[in-house]
Structure 1
Amino acid sequence: MSLSADRVTGPEFVTRSDVLAPAAMAATSHPLATQIALEIMRQGGSAVDAAIAANAALGLMEPTGCGIGGDLFAIVWDAESGRLHGLNASGRSPRALSLEWFQDNGFERIPRYGPLPVSVPGAVDGWFELHGRFGRLPMKEVLAPAIRYAREGFPVTEVIAHYWAINAERLGEYPGFAEVFMPGGRAPAKGEIFRNPALADTYEKIAAGGRDAFYRGEIARTIAAYMQANGGFLSYEDLATHSSDWVEPVSASYRGYDIWQLPPNTQGIAGLQILQVLEGYDIAGMGFGSADYMHLFIEAKKLAFEDRARFYADPDFMDVSVAKLISDEYAATRRSLIDLGKAAASYPHGDPAVLRDGDTIYLTVADAEGNMVSLIQSNYRGMGSGMTPPGLGFVLQDRGEMFSLQPGHPNAFAPGKRPFTTIIPGFVTKDGKPWLSFGVMGGGMQPQGHAQVLVNMIDFGMEPQAAGDAPRMRHDGSSEPTDERMTDGGVVRLEQGFAPEAIAELERRGHRVEVRNDGGYGGYQAIRRDDGAWVGASESRKDGHAAGY
């Protein structure tokens, strides 16, 4: 990771300086999407208008991570009221499909691709919920830049081209996919111009007809007919009855900073649980990249993910309260299980009941009035299920794969139920004022990445760009919501840049360590509020870009 050792400022792993601007800032995973966000704000749009415009552009330009066939979550800081708002725009399972159907047909888990993991796409409804409350420009103006690029074309960027080729190999067999995403029979290469006129048509219908054009009109009927013709269960009624939910963000304090996440069905509170365990130790004194810090982080992650596998689900089906899971008292009971000198092969999930009551895109935007948006949107597994309805220009998500087929589990499949989801926007306040809007993409890496970049800033004093560029660690175990518990300690995967002596000490303590840059360490964007200025960051692992004015 020491790509910039000749820089005269900052740690050697920093790829570039923070971006500073006085009025507005946007940080997304594609430079053109960032420019679109700034364009919308210069036209008088709000941070939410800009975020929707950027998200629409990313659905076109980075279909490997998002699109309107997927779900959306957002945290919005409203400067006028001085408070945070949370939006859960995730979809539910088909009402005609049941746990018994999977059991009767011999499934041990829900397939990754094809018609069976498809759930209702929630992103478009999320756009209109956000726009109805915080938007200023007409939706036609908000979607206009993405529509223009969809018709006229754009050059495919390097990292996106890499993942596009991988997804095309996996999904090219599914009906409709190749016609849209494999012009000439293959994925577009870096620098090639890609156009998606079908998506431009879809965006135009949405801009003119609102969310009902997607969920109750021709688009919904096309999706339903396509799914029925190809062995799926998603129906017109599933789409027509969909709605998003405004939810209260939840928080935990970490060394005087209030870290905010959305409650389940997201995994956001796993990041809070990791930080609460770490708060009991002198992390700053251990130093970045030290074996002591890395060992503690890995063990804290194991503890949080055992709870994630057992408890996190659609909140209507959870059997413990979020307040208990993120309480200081509960963190203390979990922290006591850690051996500072030895890696654990496994941990039990916790028992909050004993306590008293108490692949993805991420973008963030801040406007001149002080409003901030933290938004994450995904199809799951890159480009989703592969199921691509004719004439619409997008792939349907495969988020339903995340359901468990274990009867009685809080995340067990049920009709009309939201699956556990990995995508999480993050936000931090300090003394009741906005401090940081941030996110890290990447499945189970997301809460691990959230915790690491915050430790980098709060404990190790890094600036936003450095906090994202710093080499990361990732613990991969079997404590997934649909899998059995971890029993072998899992594997610690490290990016290049950690000291050999620290790696050797981790191995001495019983960790299985692999050093490899496999693309699985997430993709980070952040905007911090400093005295009268915005500070933007976009890390080097993606094609992203932070810019302001």
Structure 2
Amino acid sequence: MKKTAFIFLICCLSASLGAQTTQKPPLHGKHWMAITGKPLGATAGAMIFSQGGNAIDASCAMLAAVCTMWDVLSWGGETQALIYNPHTQKVIAINAMGIAPTGATVDFFKEKDMQYPPEFGPLAATTPGTPGGLMTMLAEYGTMSLEQVLAPAMEMAKGYPIEAQTANMIENRKDLIKGWPHSKKVFLPHLGEEREAPHAGEIFVQEDLYQTLKKLVDTEKAALAAGKTRKEAIYEAYDRFYKGDIAEEIVRGTREQGGLFTMEDLSKWKVKIEEPLSTNYKGIEVYKLQEWTQGPVLLQTLNILENFDLKSMGYNSANYINTVYQAMNLAFADRDFYYGDPDFSPKSPMKGLLSKEYAKQRAKLIQEKNDPEMGPGDPYPFQNEKNPFLHLLEKRKNDLAYYQPELPIQGPDDPFLKQFQSGTTSIQAADKDGWVVSITPSGGWIPAVIAGNTGIGLSQRMQSFVLDEALNPFNLLEPGKRPRVTLTPSMALKDGKPFLSFAVQGGDTQDQDLLQLFLNMVEFGMTVQEASEAANIHSYQMQSSFGAHESKPGSITLNSAVPAWVRNDLKNRGYKMNFLERTSGPLNAIWFDWKHSSFWGGSSNHGEDYGIAW
């Protein structure tokens, strides 16, 4: 009897171990799920859920927390979100991207002998978007007060044990930080010592930021006491940030350090609640933000890949990698030339770009060997118009400066690779009532200029503009304009219900990883955690959205586990390969199990992303 029981136990243990195909276990939840880039951030979301908040409330708390702990972003950055509203059964897009300030013109930067706006400093800053985005989402779709949602972040601002990754980033960039007095005051508590940044685990205090957040809460409380509704009271706080004394200090502190912000820049800026763009891939509706982000790249790539039998090729076979790589490059080439702020003229030809017929035309360009000179197409005929920029396309084609056949990537520490994949964070939340939130916030990463005595670290997103119309006439810098950003939350519905909510950090690789997560699940039947950890590929044939906007045509990052025969095949097709042990993002995602009325959460085994569910 004992022997039988022992054998039964071993069999059960073996079955259990055999079922674990991932390095991290999947999350499972019945009532709610909260996932973001840091454990403390996920805990903030869990705290709000446990107090009865919905997914909007929890995601706003996570956003506030990760901004406060500098998870490769800060409060002066930008927020992009997709929200599924269970009452309307529609996906809503939140555009909380800041704008180029007054005086930020092409001529201004060219007179400074710059090819692009700078990577760091006060002239790299667009106006703050995240505070407005958070307050708008909370006011329109949340249930809690701003005071409740900001409570975890405010406690952290009073002091939290800083993580080694952030503390070391401060130490490594302290030479830049010392050039900005308000940043030096916050980031370098040990000036004059060998290590001037905080130590890992040291209690990191941000008193100025705490006072700024307290002003928002005090304004809300006063409005509620005066008889205002919850929504009205939150918008009173919004106005104080963008039109009141907080705005005045942001403008003063930014201009003091050489920036261009004006009070009018902040007071006229508004969060936009928009219609998302979408496409249907094999019965699944996939949603992305509009073309002021790179999000439509994913939709275009899916349209192209719909013309191939990916499943029969086999996951990460040479044929599969070659097809996906070139499809991405075709879509990204269009991104580099046609995407920009739709509020400005010229208007991006999105109808043509997202046309299935245009995708069929582009799909015919995919060859057995890689083409390092794949360029933008002409989508205008697919919306019954004539392309007014054919002369610029011809100039690009004949100018080798736009196709930079440089050396392949030189290992994981290659500066180009680090910049190209530079991260932010992502936030995923869902609840039992049907609310779903996908956010990719960013901006104000270390080293950040802090605006005066506000504790607000400013965005560096100006560098995503171009100063030469031949590069992209739609993303040419103008005051009041939003740059075309890499930030790109995603959501998918199937049979009219949420199917997948997903986002990732990683600069220009974001929609590459998101595409492969989606295909891993839809084409190859992976679970959300398997798909989050899977061996993705990365292309660098598109122009980087940062720094000098470089590209490396023909270069590809592969997972170290890719077998020799696949490597040899790709080498013969003209690829310049480099290898990394982990190539999955880090991705964060929620899959909706309607059969069992539960959530599955996935979070890559790459970085510190973390989730909590109940």
Please say whether Structure 1 and Structure 2 have the same fold, judged by a TM-score greater than 0.5: yes
Of 183, 190, 214, which aligns to 2:200?
190
The Cα of 1:166 is off from its aligned counterpart by 4.1
Aligned partner of 1:523 among 581, 586, 597: 586
Shift of 1:499: 1.8
Q: Distance in 2 between matches of 1:488 and 1:133?
A: 43
User: Residue 492 of structure 1 corresponds to which residue in structure 2?
Assistant: 556
Query: Residues 345 and 486 of structure 1 are in contact (CA less than 8 Å); yes or no, is this contact kept in structure 2?
Result: no
Partner of 2:272: 245
d(CA) in 1 for partners of 2:183, 2:580: 32
Q: Does 1:423 align with 2:430?
A: no
Instruction: Using the TM superposition, name which of 181-190 and 537-546 deviates more.
Output: 181-190
State the SS of the aligned residue for 1:338: coil
Structure 1 counterpart SS, 2:454 = coil
Aligned: 1:8 with 2:6: no
> How far off is 1:105 after superposition?
3.1
Confirm or deny that 1:533 pairs with 2:598: yes
Secondary structure in structure 1 of the residue aligned to 2:556 = strand
Which of the numbers 30, 40, 63 marks the counterpart of 2:38? 30
Q: Select 2:428's aligned residue among 364, 372, 394.
A: 364
- Is 2:116 the partner of 1:54? no
How high is the TM-score relative to the length of structure 2? 0.83
Q: Deviations over 1:76-113 (max 9, x none)?
A: 11112211111101111112232222233322221111
Structure 2 residues without counterparts, runs of 5 or longer: 1-13, 220-236, 386-422
Tell me which residue corresponds to 2:390. none
The equivalent of 1:92 in structure 2 is 99
The corresponding residue for 2:29 is 21
- Return the offset for 1:217: 1.8
Give the aligned length. Answer: 538
Structure 1 residues 394 and 10: CA distance shift in structure 2, 3 A = farther
Q: Which amino acid aligns with 1:540?
A: N
Contact 2:329/2:542, CA 8 A, preserved across alignment? no
Q: Which SS does the other structure have where 1:137 is aligned?
A: coil
Cα deviation for residue 399 of structure 1 reads 0.5
TM-score, reference length from structure 1: 0.93
Distance (whole Å) between structure 1 residues aligned to residue 176 and residue 584 of structure 2: 21
Structure-2 change in CA distance of 1:43 and 1:488 (3 Å): closer
1:392, distance to aligned residue in structure 2 (A)? 1.9
Structure-2 separation of matches of 1:171 and 1:483 = 18
Match of 1:268 in 2: 295
Pair 1:226–1:485, CA change in 2 (3 A):
closer
1:485–1:40 Cα change, 3 Å:
closer
Q: The residue matched to 1:100 in structure 2 has which SS? A: helix
- Letter of the 2:290 counterpart: P
> What is the DSSP-based 3-state SS (H/G/I as helix, E as strand, rest coil) of the residue aligned with 2:95?
strand
Residues 1:175 and 2:181 are matched in the alignment = yes
Query: 2:143 is matched with which residue?
Result: 136
- Per-residue deviation, residues 140-163 of structure 1 (Å, max 9, x unmatched): 011011111221x32333544454
Q: Is the 8 A contact 2:428 2:589 kept in 1?
A: yes
Displacement after TM superposition at 1:318 (Å):
4.2
Give the Å deviation of 1:208: 2.6
Question: Which stretch shows the higher mean deviation, 310-319 or 506-515?
Answer: 310-319
**Aligned-residue RMSD, C-alpha:** 2.4
**Which residue in 2 is equivalent to 1:342?**
369
Partner Cα separation in structure 2 for residue 229 and residue 177 of structure 1 = 13
Q: Which amino acid aligns with 2:363?
A: R
Closer, same or farther in 2 for the Cα pair 1:10/1:158, shift >3 Å?
Answer: farther
Structure 2 equivalent of residue 410 of structure 1: 474
Q: Structure 1 counterpart of 2:218, which letter?
A: A
Residue 301 of structure 2 corresponds to residue 292 of structure 1: no
The code of the aligned residue for 1:69 comes to: G
Residue type matched to 2:586 in 1?
A: G
Task: Note closer, same or farther for the CA distance 1:66–1:9 as it changes in structure 2 (3 Å cut).
Answer: farther
Deviation at 1:305, TM superposition (A): 1.1
Write the distance in 1 (CA, Å) between the matches of 2:309 and 2:19: 23
**Deviation at residue 182 of structure 1 after TM alignment:** 2.6
Contact 2:84 2:437 in 1 (8 A): yes
Deviations 1:307-349 (A, max 9, x none): 011001001234433222112111111111010x201121120
- Of 48-57 and 468-477, more deviation after overlay is shown by 468-477
1:29 is matched by which residue type in structure 2?
Answer: G
Q: Describe the shift of the 1:361–1:485 C-alpha distance in structure 2 as closer, same or farther (beyond 3 A).
A: closer
Change in Cα spacing, 1:9 to 1:258, as seen in structure 2 (3 Å) is farther
TM-aligned CA distance change 1:160 to 1:349, over 3 Å: same
Cα distance in 1 for partners of 2:177, 2:19 equals 42
- Aligned counterparts of 2:262 and 2:557: Cα–Cα separation in 1: 41
1:231/1:7 CA distance change after superposition, 3 Å: farther
Given candidates 451, 454, 460, the residue that maps to 2:518 is: 454
How much does 1:541 deviate? Answer: 1.2
User: What is the distance in 2 between the residues matched to 1:485 and 1:349?
Assistant: 16
- Relative distance call for 1:363 and 1:205 in structure 2 (3 A) is same
Change (3 A) 1:123 1:485: closer
SS state at 1:364 partner: strand
**Alignment identity in percent?**
30
Report the residue type matching 2:360 in the other structure: A
Answer yes or no: is the 8 Å Cα contact 1:262–1:425 preserved in 2. Answer: yes
Letter in 1 for 2:474: P
2:262 is aligned with 1:235: yes
Matches for 1:254-403 after TM superposition, within 5 Å: 254-315=281-342, 316-339=344-367, 341-356=368-383, 359-379=423-443, 382-383=445-446, 386-403=448-465
Equivalent residue of 2:280, what SS? strand
Looking at structure 1, the residues matched to 58 and 155 of structure 2 have their Cα atoms a distance apart, in angstroms, of 16
Match of 2:50 among 24, 42, 48: 42
Q: Residue 108 of structure 1: SS of its match in structure 2?
A: coil
Distance 1:383 1:487 in 2: 24
